[in-house]
Structures are given as structure tokens and as C-alpha cells.
């Protein structure tokens, strides 16, 4: 027996006031100790790399303090008790802002043959601002693999989680809610390591949100049961969105080389969802250029999906495919952005436009979203839009605008009424461009044609007078 024992290393300090070694040749079954360990988390993660592998480019940091009470002297009645704190905790991801947490606390109480990873954990508690966890379960060994069975309750603080989402991505979401939900998990290691967990796990749990705000959407009373088995995650999302209804059942296939999210075919996912200015800017403008810079005065829309497949990995995004129908109901827009210069070309002072009760078919494939013709009404005039938006937000649209009397004058309009001009729309969603030179050239050609018609009409009248 050695008492006390203290070790100082570059990674940290180990202080064991009580240390007993019964068998130097078999330490994993012959040690009993109490004490504390102060380590740098990054060094600890490297030490545990054989058990838990971090993704490439990912690292952790933080001052870790562990209080331990361990007795492995009797193989039939081994136990490990750990009370740990990480202050502060930092997670570093490739090309992302670091995530930091002021404090993470962990308590573990294991009993059984711990050295051979055949044991029960009577207590597993994790406490942090975004996640709190309380669980129990077992770990057993089958040949060279470890099998985890656990159940418990998990509480998610969505206010804290939304701040993490903002740091990890460009998504601006405001979420509220902190409801505790039960969960269960069964997971199997791969070659003794805890990797590819979604492919080798069975998980059941659920998720609740009081509110989620983003993209001009207000989601309320959201309930989301989640089930993962055989590499397939099934999610059932039900909630209220902008006073309308949301109902969809996406699945995520982790068994494929690149995980893909899918939605069942012929599914009406949104019904009677109220349009808003933020939604027009953040969401609908990514599907159609008329919403760029436009303000929504009133209206709702429905969204149906005939099929939807979207790879989660950005490198696989070209394989994304979907087919949808957006039905607009009594939508009124206040012109802005792209619509303003089009109305200026038409010499229209009116800035209120109407989208009639009409469906718009949109197909996403080959890096672009192509939508069927959409008609916009301004007073007695109709504008027609056709084209596509790229996943890179590039625009390739044609606006068919009518020739108005204000554009060409009364004399020419008698011959040009009912004609239209095709206006190319390019650029990007953030910076659309309209080829006004094309409009000017087309108008000149139309006026010349009108002049020819006028001369022909006048010559015809002259001949008629000659033969009276």
C-alpha cells in the first residue's frame, strides 16, 4: 500500500491520499483509491481516444476536476464513483466559432466488473446550461464489442441551445421551453470503439418547444417524438405555425454513406400558414424572386411535398431532390426590391400587388429550384414570372410584363395593347439585376412595328376613300 500518492504532469495533477495496490501485475483488478484528479480536458480526451473518437478537426479544452472513489480489488464487487466538473468547457469545430460553457458537472456511480466493462451504472448525471441528464443502465461485453443499455430523463433548455445553433450556423432561431422528457438508448460499439453511433443505436425520446421563431415563422406548442433504429431516425413533427398547421414526418437514413433526410411522398406539411415580411425575406425569397424586398400585407399559403430528399453533408448537396406545391391564398404584397424597377419600367405608380389563389409547382434538382409560372396582378395588369433559383442563390428568371399606355403613349398603344416584353432577371437573391437595355430595345422594336401598322392602316383608309 502506498499512502499518500501524488503525481504532477504537463496534463495536470493526481492527488490520492489513499492508494492501495494488491497486485502490481493486475492493476485493473487490484486497485483501491480515493482522491482527486485535475487535468486539462484536451489531454484527457487524447488519453481516452481508444474509447471515444472525436470527429476530424474537433477538439475540446477546459480544466477538469475529478473526485474519485474506486475499489477494483474484488472482481465481483467493483465500483467507481466519480464527481467531476469542467470549468470552463470549450469545443472547437472546423471553420466554426468555439462553443463555450461556464461549467459542466458530471456524476457517475458504477458497480460490477468495471475493468472488463461489464457493469451497471446506478447514477449518471450531467448538468449544463443546454442539457441536463439523469440516467441509469448497464454496459456489457459480447466478444470484443460493448453494449450499452440506458434509460432516464433529459431536459433541454432551448434558450441556451438556440445560442449554440447561432454560433454553429447562420441560422437565427429564438427558442423557448425547458421540458424534461424520458429517453432510452441501446448502443453497440464498433471494434470496441464508440463510433458511428447513429448506425449502431436504438433510441426513443421526444422533444417539446414552447415557441420557435425563425425565417418569419412562429412555431408554437411543438411536440416531436423521435425514434432511431437500424440506422433510420423517424421524427413526427406536429405544431402550430403562424396560426396555421404543421404536420410532417421526416426520416434520416444514417445507414447510407452520406446521411439523407427524407419526407414521405404526397404529404401536406403546412396548411393556412400566415405570411409575414420576415418570412418573405428569409424563406420565400429563396424560392422566388418576387419576394425579394417585398412586404406582405396579408395572405396565407399551403405547402405540399410530392417527394423530398436532402443530403445532410454539404458535399452531397448536388444530390438533393424535391418536388413541392405552394398554394397562395389571398396574398397582397407591397412592392419592393425586384418588383419596384419592374413597375417603374411599366410606368406604374401603384405599389400594391396581388397573388391570386393559385398553386406554384417547384422542383429542386441539379443545384436549382425551378418553379412554374406565377401570375402577379397590379391593377388591371398581369405580370408572369418563370425561371429558377440556384442553391447558390443565383437567379435565372424571366418576367413577362405587359406594355402599358404610359410606356408608349396613346397613339402607339392602340397598336400594342395586349403585347408584352420579356425581361431577364439575373444576379443573386441578395443582389438581383434587371436588364433594362433589353426592355428599351424591345420597346423600340414594338414601336417600330406599331408605326408600320399605323402606316398600313392609314394607306388602307386612303385606298378606301379613293374607291368610294
Query: What is the tens place of the pLDDT at every residue in 198-217?
Result: 888 999 999 899 999 887 88
Q: Residues 336, 337, 343, 344: what is their CA dihedral angle, to the nearest 10 degrees? A: 110
Residue 248 included in any domain? no
Instruction: Among 40-49, 104-113, 455-464, name the one with the lowest average pLDDT.
Output: 455-464
How far apart (Å, rounded) are the C-alpha atoms in residues 368 and 362? 10
Is residue 86 one of the residues assigned to a domain? yes
Beta-bridge partners for 205: 226
- Give how many domains the chain has, as a whole number: 1
pLDDT confidence tier of residue 437, bands split at 50, 70 and 90: confident
Q: What is the pLDDT of residue 171?
A: 67
Question: What confidence score (pLDDT) does residue 466 get?
Answer: 34
Contact 178, 196 (CB under 8 A): no
- Model pLDDT for residues 304-314, shown as the tens digit of each residue: 999 999 988 87
pLDDT at position 185? 95
pLDDT for res 412: 74
- CA 84, CA 101: separation in Å to the nearest integer? 15
Euclidean distance between CA atoms 123 and 134, whole angstroms:
7
pLDDT of residue 249: 93
Residues 216 and 281 sit within 8 Å (Cβ to Cβ):
yes
* 259 belongs to a structural domain: no
Query: Given a cut of 60, is residue 459 above it in pLDDT?
Result: no
- C-alpha to C-alpha distance for 272 and 344, rounded to whole angstroms: 33
Which residues, 6+ apart, have CB-to-CB distance to 219 below 8 Å? 209, 211, 212, 213, 239, 240, 241, 246
Domain of 115 in residue numbering reads as: 1-128
More confident residue, 217 or 445: 217
As a whole-number percent, the residues of the chain with pLDDT over 70 amount to 91
Average pLDDT over residues 392-420: 85
For the record, the C-alpha cell of 72 comes out as 477494483
Q: Per-residue pLDDT tens for 235-251?
A: 999 999 999 999 999 99
**Per-residue confidence (pLDDT) for residue 155, from 0 to 100:** 93
Residue found under cell 410532417: 248
Helices (H), 124-219: 158-168
Q: For residue 347, what pLDDT is reported?
A: 87
Sorting pLDDT into bands at 50, 70 and 90, what band is 450?
A: low
- 369 within a domain of the structure (yes/no): no
pLDDT digits (tens, 9 = 90+) for 46-67: 766 665 667 777 888 888 899 9
Mean pLDDT of the chain: 84
Asked if pLDDT for residue 4 goes beyond 90, the answer is no
In a domain, residue 46? The reply is yes
103 against 57, higher pLDDT: 103
Q: Say how many CA atoms lie within 13 Å of 125 toward its Cβ.
A: 11
Report the share of the chain in percent with pLDDT over 90: 35
Rg (CA), the chain: 33
Look at residue 420 in the predicted model and tell me its pLDDT. 84
**334-360 per-position pLDDT tens digit:** 888 888 888 888 888 888 999 988 899
Place 94 in a pLDDT band, splitting at 50, 70 and 90: confident
The answer as to whether 380 is a domain residue is no
Range 150-175 average pLDDT = 84
Q: Is residue 239 part of a domain?
A: no
User: Residue 422 corresponds to which cell in the numbers above?
Assistant: 420579356
In a domain, 203, yes or no: no
Amino acid at each position: 500500500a502506498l499512502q499518500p500518492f501524488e503525481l504532477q504532469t504537463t496534463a495536470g495533477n493526481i492527488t490520492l491520499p489513499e492508494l492501495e495496490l494488491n497486485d502490481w501485475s493486475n492493476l485493473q483488478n487490484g486497485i483501491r483509491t480515493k482522491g482527486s484528479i485535475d487535468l486539462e480536458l484536451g489531454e484527457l480526451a487524447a488519453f481516452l481516444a481508444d474509447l471515444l473518437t472525436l470527429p476530424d478537426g474537433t477538439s475540446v479544452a477546459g480544466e477538469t476536476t475529478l473526485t474519485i472513489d474506486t475499489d477494483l480489488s474484488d472482481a465481483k464487487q467493483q465500483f467507481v464513483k466519480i464527481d467531476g466538473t469542467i470549468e470552463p468547457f470549450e469545443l472547437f469545430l472546423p471553420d466554426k466559432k468555439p462553443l463555450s460553457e461556464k461549467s459542466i458537472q458530471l456524476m457517475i456511480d458504477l458497480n460490477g466488473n468495471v475493468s472488463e466493462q461489464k457493469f451497471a451504472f446506478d447514477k449518471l448525471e450531467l448538468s449544463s446550461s443546454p442539457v441536463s441528464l439523469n440516467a441509469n443502465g448497464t454496459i456489457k461485453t459480447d466478444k470484443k464489442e460493448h453494449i450499452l443499455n440506458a434509460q432516464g430523463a433529459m431536459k433541454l433548455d432551448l434558450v441556451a441551445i438556440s445560442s449554440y445553433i447561432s454560433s454553429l450556423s447562420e441560422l437565427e432561431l429564438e427558442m423557448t421551453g425547458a421540458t424534461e422528457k424520458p429517453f432510452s438508448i441501446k448502443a453497440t460499439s464498433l471494434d470496441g470503439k464508440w463510433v458511428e453511433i447513429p448506425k449502431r443505436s436504438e433510441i426513443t425520446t421526444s422533444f417539446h418547444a414552447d415557441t420557435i421563431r425563425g425565417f418569419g415563422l412562429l412555431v408554437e406548442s411543438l411536440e416531436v417524438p423521435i425514434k432511431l433504429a437500424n440506422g433510420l431516425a423517424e421524427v413526427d413533427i406536429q405544431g402550430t405555425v403562424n396560426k396555421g398547421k404543421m404536420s410532417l414526418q421526416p426520416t434520416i437514413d444514417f445507414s447510407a454513406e452520406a446521411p439523407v433526410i427524407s419526407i414521405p411522398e404526397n404529404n401536406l406539411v403546412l396548411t393556412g400558414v400566415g405570411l409575414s415580411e420576415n418570412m418573405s425575406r428569409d424563406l420565400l425569397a429563396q424560392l422566388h424572386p418576387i419576394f425579394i424586398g417585398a412586404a406582405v400585407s396579408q395572405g396565407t399559403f399551403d405547402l405540399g411535398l410530392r417527394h423530398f430528399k436532402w443530403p445532410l453533408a454539404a458535399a452531397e448537396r448536388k444530390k438533393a431532390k424535391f418536388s413541392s406545391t405552394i398554394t397562395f391564398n389571398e396574398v397582397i404584397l407591397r412592392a419592393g426590391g425586384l418588383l419596384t424597377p419592374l413597375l417603374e419600367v411599366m410606368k406604374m405608380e401603384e405599389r400594391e400587388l396581388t397573388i391570386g389563389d393559385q398553386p406554384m409547382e417547384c422542383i429542386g434538382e441539379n443545384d436549382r429550384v425551378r418553379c412554374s409560372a406565377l401570375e402577379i396582378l397590379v391593377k388591371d395588369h398581369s405580370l408572369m414570372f418563370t425561371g429558377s433559383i440556384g442553391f447558390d442563390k443565383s437567379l435565372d428568371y424571366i418576367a413577362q410584363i405587359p406594355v402599358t399606355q404610359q410606356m408608349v403613349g396613346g397613339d402607339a398603344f392602340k397598336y400594342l395593347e395586349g403585347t408584352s416584353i420579356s425581361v431577364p432577371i439575373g444576379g443573386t437573391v441578395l443582389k438581383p439585376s434587371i436588364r433594362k437595355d433589353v426592355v428599351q430595345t424591345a420597346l423600340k422594336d414594338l414601336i417600330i412595328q406599331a408605326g408600320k401598322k399605323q402606316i398600313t392602316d392609314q394607306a388602307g383608309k386612303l385606298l378606301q376613300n379613293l374607291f368610294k
